[in-house]
Structure 1
């Protein structure tokens, strides 16, 4: 290639790179979440609430999915009392005194973007997204949601306290009711309970109802990687199935109903989750439905309890609102950690995550931990890889003889195939020897891919220099380019395919893979780059060893 062509292609490559960088800056901005509602403003019910009667008593029976009784809803202009604000070290939430629903929840330790000071908002109720958590008590004769009176309007977890209790008082049908939210330092779960005191002469059969309601809006935490995206929808854990996903489409078409001892109901998206967890020693009824506005509603109804005149009773459940931290979710309920969905290769991905987390405990850098995990995987498959690389090296060694045979046979395919087989037999070469070991390793590579893609720990996790978020693409595409170069160098160590068309395709692969990897999360590209570099070292060593052995034979 002459100097003019080198200069021309180099210039075109630089221009293409700058264009991609500019396009990335112009069109890759993530969605900014609307800020929390003001504390003491007078709020109105959203239109969707008015349409579906949010003020009615929540109802859930063995014969139906979560329902709202048909009582007239307030008009959109009807004012309700101001929202109650609760702030801990992990959560910033707003509670609507009408029923005590959580209508806003921001995760203070997780930002909207790596370069933003705004916390990531999971629950919200506005024009952007309708995603709230509801709870109530049925069986008290209440036909409408209870208007609760909070003891104060703002709550902050004191620095010297480990828990914060929010108490909201109400009364219905002669029953004194206190709804209690208990928040914990360093945790994302909330204990929700109802303290009931029967001051009437009647006997009631109350039960706890917990619902999660979400519209069909896109997942704000989801990045699209070549059309692949994390699951957005509902999931349940029951006696019949410890982890079962129910998509929004399934909720609309057939729904879900099941009794179970223990279990949970959750709404999933990439990295984050909201989940109701009833008492694990009780039998609850889980189900789904959609409302007239098209919102997806999932939830549970707890066991009926008996409340005699003059008696007191407490109904409770746990609520989780936060990131998919497996250790924290595992402490709350069995199988809740399965919402970190590694797919059908979970039995490989899960040990890989444990290893990654273990390394992070020592190095305190997720990027370095990825490199160490890659090295361990490479060591585990060293023998298999060595077999593949030895086969490739032998194929490269006899490449001149193969070229000579091809020239002698011309267009006679049958004769060419026969002569090739004779050569393989004489040189003791298995032409498929380089394929099988690589195929055996593919499940591990796929499992590692999904493990890195699903791990919230990598979200906004810095590595070094310009990589400040391993869950997002490299902003300057340097890692993908280095990965492509490593693929090109690795190809140079492989034998040239005898078929010209196949040889041209192989030469194009580094360019194709580089283009694909431009939008892959930096953590995944880092893994692939390190794996390629280790493969180059191993393949170079084996190739050189075989060449030296061949020279020694010729010398003797």
Structure 2
């Protein structure tokens, strides 16, 4: 039993560390940190921008896949316009502000080149500096683009349309729940209106305190959704043909929103919905090796980072071409998006292309309503089927208590109660083993160096006393998936980001700044060891004494919320084990 228990705990330590490394390998992407240079002259380009066409189409692959006609026939020089580089100019930007978004739109092409999340500070210590999701600068490129392609599309001719607006600054004022911002352009007797629709993120009846705490009942699920509608008014004498192209363009730099400090990283890369896989990852390494193209009815395409996501969601009733592309040197940009089917607009007729851009936090309830499978961008790993109920229970408790720290403590108590019978069986087995320690020592003294005789004697002793030497192992193994699932819930859920508990713990999603909780956790592990039977082998005893120190070191950089769970769990375990040990020892003493 001592050997098995020691092996189990050592294995637990190794598995915990291996989990950290494997998570980083599977979900973290190594940033290639390209030298993205946008010269000052480039930022002062003329209003009309040209495409930098790069045709990376593999004609062999085209035998099995054909792009929509509006895409394939857009330009004889560039038959595959999915590969065209719509380059924003950052000239004369149009600014829009809502209660949750601050963004800038380039009138040349109508791309969103800047977007800040005013309700999510970049750092907790600087609450007035919002996290910037989209950016188009010499340091970082991450933008949302859309355009009309095809035979008559204004973005397919080699130049980007220069839209006009009534104002340069728009704001969603008090009393309004939505805001439309129209970008207009005319060419060849065809009038185009690119309309952005914004919504209020929080109900106006909520107090500033409720908004500051991001109360679920106050949040509007449309707050981070940006409606993008193209209105085509064909006043020419010929049919108009075209399609919508929407995409996300990003460089290969690291995740600026990640707050982990355990050498881990959540998934950074693209994802797409397909009929076979409702959450198909397109890792950057995969995009380097092979482009993705597939026709999908409805669906979505997204770019993920820690806590936040940007996603294009087309009309659910259309069949679109989802694609990914890695730009060749020297630009080194990753591109994911979709192209809609081609449509024809007769003379004197109107047509609307509709799409939705989500740019904001990974709030599962909002994402799920927007498009099926989009909530899976909150990536809980292979134990998602355990993590999801844990997340639901945690959020339910929070709705009652209003504090995430106390919610984690109550969740720990509930989980402990659920596993109480298993834990009790484990502690009873350990208590019996502890009670047999004098007999085991006497057996060792009588057997001397005869290992085989000692092993046989111990097995007979266990059989006589009705003690299962492996009785304490299974309950611990059963609880491991719950611990790992909770780890991912606390690491990936944006609800945990920068939320305080009390005193010095102002951010449960990052490490304890003073390492107080990890130290308490190490002390609690040491106390637990004192309640367990001591290993008869001196080397095992030394290893056991080192484990609290090793685990304390591991937990120094773990999210404070997870360490809080482990501390509370240890304290409850100590109380339960102490009670059961005393009860079993009394029973054994009476029997003797």
**Same fold (TM > 0.5):** yes
Q: Quote the residue 1:288 is aligned against.
A: 324
More moved, 221-230 vs 171-180? 221-230
Q: Note the C-alpha offset of 1:225.
A: 4.5
Q: Quote the residue 2:371 is aligned against.
A: 333
1:222 aligns with 2:233: no
| Contact 2:44-2:91 at 8 Å conserved across structures | no
Q: Which has the higher contact order (CA 8 A, sep 6+)?
A: 2
| Contact 1:396-1:496 at 8 Å conserved across structures | yes
Helix, strand or coil: the match of 1:118?
A: strand
- Alpha-carbon distance between aligned partners in 2 of 1:151 and 1:43, rounded to the nearest angstrom: 23
Q: Quote the residue 1:105 is aligned against.
A: 115
Q: Note the C-alpha offset of 1:374.
A: 1.0
Structure 1 runs, 4 residues or longer, greater than 6 Å off: none
Helix, strand or coil: the match of 2:244?
A: strand
- Alpha-carbon distance between aligned partners in 1 of 2:85 and 2:179, rounded to the nearest angstrom: 33
- Counterpart mapping for 1:482-521 below 5 A: 482-521=520-559
- Alpha-carbon distance between aligned partners in 2 of 1:303 and 1:371, rounded to the nearest angstrom: 52
1:258 aligns with 2:325: no
| Contact 2:153-2:243 at 8 Å conserved across structures | no
Q: Quote the residue 1:180 is aligned against.
A: 195
1:398 aligns with 2:436: yes
Q: Quote the residue 2:516 is aligned against.
A: 478
Q: Quote the residue 2:285 is aligned against.
A: 249
1:120 aligns with 2:131: yes
Selected match of 1:200 from 204, 226, 236: 236
Helix, strand or coil: the match of 2:342?
A: coil
| Contact 1:221-1:269 at 8 Å conserved across structures | yes
| Contact 2:233-2:349 at 8 Å conserved across structures | yes
| Contact 2:431-2:532 at 8 Å conserved across structures | yes
| Contact 1:65-1:287 at 8 Å conserved across structures | no
Selected match of 2:102 from 82, 92, 115: 92
| Contact 1:209-1:302 at 8 Å conserved across structures | yes
Q: Measured at CA, do residues 64 and 367 of structure 1 come closer, stay the same or move farther in structure 2, by a change above 3 Å?
A: farther
Q: Note the C-alpha offset of 1:60.
A: 4.6
- Alpha-carbon distance between aligned partners in 2 of 1:518 and 1:376, rounded to the nearest angstrom: 25
Q: Quote the residue 1:35 is aligned against.
A: none
1:278-320 CA deviation, whole Å, 9 max, x = no partner? 0111111100112231100000011222201110111110000
Q: Quote the residue 1:210 is aligned against.
A: 246
- Alpha-carbon distance between aligned partners in 1 of 2:369 and 2:180, rounded to the nearest angstrom: 21
- Alpha-carbon distance between aligned partners in 2 of 1:325 and 1:60, rounded to the nearest angstrom: 34
| Contact 2:153-2:242 at 8 Å conserved across structures | no
- Alpha-carbon distance between aligned partners in 1 of 2:244 and 2:302, rounded to the nearest angstrom: 17
Q: Quote the residue 2:82 is aligned against.
A: 66
Q: Note the C-alpha offset of 1:50.
A: 8.3
Q: Note the C-alpha offset of 1:109.
A: 0.4
Q: Note the C-alpha offset of 1:65.
A: 7.6
Q: Note the C-alpha offset of 1:141.
A: 4.5
Q: Measured at CA, do residues 98 and 415 of structure 1 come closer, stay the same or move farther in structure 2, by a change above 3 Å?
A: same
- Alpha-carbon distance between aligned partners in 2 of 1:69 and 1:537, rounded to the nearest angstrom: 64
| Contact 1:103-1:133 at 8 Å conserved across structures | yes
Q: Note the C-alpha offset of 1:209.
A: 1.1
| Contact 1:66-1:297 at 8 Å conserved across structures | no
1:132 aligns with 2:147: no
1:424 aligns with 2:462: yes
- Alpha-carbon distance between aligned partners in 1 of 2:226 and 2:149, rounded to the nearest angstrom: 21
Q: Note the C-alpha offset of 1:119.
A: 0.1
- Alpha-carbon distance between aligned partners in 2 of 1:65 and 1:513, rounded to the nearest angstrom: 54
Q: Quote the residue 1:374 is aligned against.
A: 412
- Alpha-carbon distance between aligned partners in 2 of 1:467 and 1:441, rounded to the nearest angstrom: 27
Q: Quote the residue 1:27 is aligned against.
A: none
Q: Note the C-alpha offset of 1:52.
A: 4.2
- Compute the RMSD of aligned alpha carbons: 2.1
Q: Quote the residue 1:160 is aligned against.
A: 175
Gap regions ≥5 residues in structure 2: 1-41, 55-67, 74-78, 202-222
| Contact 1:52-1:291 at 8 Å conserved across structures | no
Q: Note the C-alpha offset of 1:401.
A: 1.1
- Alpha-carbon distance between aligned partners in 1 of 2:169 and 2:537, rounded to the nearest angstrom: 74
Q: Measured at CA, do residues 396 and 284 of structure 1 come closer, stay the same or move farther in structure 2, by a change above 3 Å?
A: same
Q: Measured at CA, do residues 483 and 152 of structure 1 come closer, stay the same or move farther in structure 2, by a change above 3 Å?
A: same
- Alpha-carbon distance between aligned partners in 1 of 2:93 and 2:142, rounded to the nearest angstrom: 16
Q: Note the C-alpha offset of 1:224.
A: 4.2
- Alpha-carbon distance between aligned partners in 1 of 2:91 and 2:332, rounded to the nearest angstrom: 27
- Alpha-carbon distance between aligned partners in 2 of 1:225 and 1:296, rounded to the nearest angstrom: 26
| Contact 1:43-1:82 at 8 Å conserved across structures | no
Q: Quote the residue 1:526 is aligned against.
A: 564
More moved, 495-504 vs 192-201? 495-504
Q: Note the C-alpha offset of 1:66.
A: 2.2
More moved, 59-68 vs 537-546? 59-68
Helix, strand or coil: the match of 2:502?
A: coil
Q: Quote the residue 1:539 is aligned against.
A: 577
- Alpha-carbon distance between aligned partners in 2 of 1:171 and 1:518, rounded to the nearest angstrom: 60
- Alpha-carbon distance between aligned partners in 2 of 1:533 and 1:273, rounded to the nearest angstrom: 38
1:553 aligns with 2:591: yes
- Alpha-carbon distance between aligned partners in 2 of 1:154 and 1:328, rounded to the nearest angstrom: 28
Q: Quote the residue 1:44 is aligned against.
A: 44
Helix, strand or coil: the match of 2:143?
A: strand
Selected match of 1:83 from 61, 76, 93: 93
- Alpha-carbon distance between aligned partners in 2 of 1:374 and 1:445, rounded to the nearest angstrom: 10
Q: Quote the residue 1:24 is aligned against.
A: none
Helix, strand or coil: the match of 1:306?
A: strand
1:449-468 CA deviation, whole Å, 9 max, x = no partner? 11111111110100011000
Helix, strand or coil: the match of 1:92?
A: strand
TM-score (norm 1): 0.87
Q: Measured at CA, do residues 484 and 52 of structure 1 come closer, stay the same or move farther in structure 2, by a change above 3 Å?
A: farther
